[in-house]
Amino acid sequence: MKTLHERRTSSPLGELHVVASDDAIVGVYLPGHKGAPEIVAHDGREHPVLREATRQLDAYFEGRRDSFVLPLDLRGSPFQREVWAALLTIPFGETRSYAELARALGRPQAARAVGAANAKNPISIIVPCHRVIAGDGALTGYAGGVAAKRWLLSHEQRRRSSFLSVP
């Protein structure tokens, strides 16, 4: 087992718990994050990957960043990692339904399995599981809470609109 390091950082959604191995991000958890594991980690205030992750998260929340460039260590089953990789292809400010994501993975009957994998994403915000919604447009479950999902989508749509309206 690799050594884990943690850093807490403030955000408009409350204090985020950011976790890294020696060389990659392994978790970003929102306050009250359902299913967040108990993590025993070292203080990561000086950890270079955590310092860069919090810098990029701050820029995202300030509206100065629409993507992340960080080393990620996605820990899960092969199917979960496949779903999480697909999440990284959803553009900033856009959404996909669980069924659309399942079709994109070549598994059109697996919308529920995609939803279950999406719910287990350990790297919230950076791996944008908040961009996946129900087929009817409803904001269904989010480990950080539906209010946080609504805030993140609204934040991205506002920022995307301002990007698109610049002449």
Calpha distance 61→52 (Å, rounded): 14
The edge-to-edge listing of strands for the beta sheet with 25-29 is 25-29, 16-20, 5-9, 42-43
Reply yes or no on whether 90 is catalytic. Answer: no
Which residue out of 19, 70, 123, 129 is catalytically annotated?
Answer: 129
Contact 104, 91 (CB under 8 A): no
Dump strand ranges (E) for 14-155.
16-20, 25-29, 42-43, 96-97, 132-133
Calpha distance 127→70 (Å, rounded): 11
Q: State the catalytic residues.
A: 129
